[in-house]
Every structure is written in structure tokens, then in C-alpha cells.
A and B are shown apart, each in its own frame.
Chain A
């Protein structure tokens, strides 16, 4: 059965710290891995990764995929209180690639 596991499940840091969130997967017919941020309601898209070793960056956030290790990390530098959210990792499949399956998420809290 395809699955994705995120760690840690919960993380509390101080503003200005750097955090690394992990996502590992066991998926046959892997197509892509996506990161989403969910605050109060709808998840918002952060990154999509399909190629191993290529870093995607957006401001203070960056992410990279390691297909050999079947994992991905999401880095946030110089964290701000507005980064407090649940960060969700998800994968899509080559077959039935419309099916986005989420991990359980990492709840990140940034304290001032």
C-alpha cells in the first residue's frame, strides 16, 4: 500500500530559527511530490518536485527531493510567526496521477 510519512508531527521553535521538515514515502509508480501549507482552512500550494536533487526555492522556503532515499525535506529559514501552520506532503502517481495522497502533516508553531 502506498504511504507517506512526515516527521516530526509537531515542532515548536522561536522566531528566527531555521527548521527542516521531513517527508518519506513508499510509493509505486511515483510521479511527483508536493508540499502544501495549511493554516485555518484550505491548503495552499508551495512546491512540486519531480526530479531528484533539484532544489526549489521561494523566498525563505526551499525543498528538495531525494529519489534514492525516497524522501523530501522542506526548509524554512529565519522563521516568522506567520509560518505557523500545518505543512502537508503529498504524492501523485503516474497511473491515476490525479490522485493526490497526503501525509499526516507537521504542525509547526513559531513563538515570538
Chain B
């Protein structure tokens, strides 16, 4: 199994809603990532988890709240988002640097629209 699975594929939410994006991998990777990608822009790192602990937060607003309940799952909780948060949210996983090449495996992404 070399897949990173993200759900939902598409999400439309209002600015007062609370929703969550989910990501799952069964490759035994202990590093998991959230990236945000706007149209015609490269992916931008948001969060990195290693061994289920948050290791990097790229100054992301608190309306985005990540959670890593176990080594296979990564969630991104969304609350009080703004229309400019509309983007493709990509989850990725990798072996940790000491274990392997550092290649990231990406999911297909969740396309979020905030109205």
C-alpha cells in the first residue's frame, strides 16, 4: 500500500462552520504533513508531525487546528475560515530523515471552498 488517502475530496463550507479534513496512510511513515496550495502556486507547508507530535507550525492561523491521533491518521480541523482560505489542501507522509530518503508521498488533496 503506497497510498495517502484524503477525505473529503471536495468541501464547501460557510465562515461559521466547523469541519475537518482527514488523511490516512498505512506505509509505516512516522512523518506527516499538511500543505496548502492556491491556484497556480506551489504547495506551501503548514504543519509537520513526527512521531505523532507537532514539530513544525509555519505560523498558521489558529482557525486551522491539526491533530495526529495515531501514526496512520492526520486531521485538520477548520473553524471560522475566511474565503481566502479556499485552496487545495494536500496531505503527505514520509519516512523520517534518519530512516530514509525524505521523499514525500502526497494524497490527492481536499479542495476547500469557503463561502
**A43/B106 contact (C-beta < 8 A), A48-B101, A102-B43 known:** yes
- Among residues 74 to 102 in chain B, which have CB atoms less than 8 Å away from a CB atom of chain A? 88, 90, 92, 94, 96-97, 101-102
Q: Give the B interface residue count (CB, 8 A).
A: 27
Complex Cα gap A97–B94 (Å): 11
Closest-by-CB residue of A relative to B88 is A41
* In-complex Cβ contact of A98 among B43, B50, B88, B107 (8 A): B50
A12 contacts the other chain (CB 8 A) = no
Q: Other CB < 8 Å A-B pairs besides A42-B106, A92-B97, A98-B48, 11 of them?
A: A32-B101, A43-B43, A43-B90, A43-B104, A48-B103, A96-B55, A98-B102, A99-B48, A100-B104, A101-B45, A102-B42
- Asked if residues B90 and A45 are in contact (CB atoms below 8 Å), the reply is no
- Asked if residues A45 and B45 are in contact (CB atoms below 8 Å), the reply is no
- Asked if residues B109 and A42 are in contact (CB atoms below 8 Å), the reply is yes
Interface string of B26-67 (1 = CB under 8 A from A): 000001010000000111110010100001100000000000
- Among residues 57 to 97 in chain A, which have CB atoms less than 8 Å away from a CB atom of chain B? 88, 92, 96-97
Complex Cα gap A29–B109 (Å): 30
A-B contacts, 28 of them at CB < 8 A, read A31-B97, A31-B102, A32-B102, A34-B104, A41-B108, A42-B90, A42-B106, A42-B107, A42-B108, A42-B109, A43-B43, A45-B103, A48-B102, A88-B43, A92-B102, A96-B55, A96-B56, A97-B102, A98-B31, A98-B50, A98-B55, A98-B56, A98-B96, A99-B48, A99-B56, A100-B33, A103-B42, A105-B42
Closest 9 CB pairs of A and B: A102-B42, A42-B106, A97-B97, A41-B108, A42-B108, A98-B48, A41-B109, A45-B103, A43-B106
A residues whose Cβ falls under 8 Å from a Cβ of B: 31-32, 34, 41-45, 48, 88, 92, 96-105
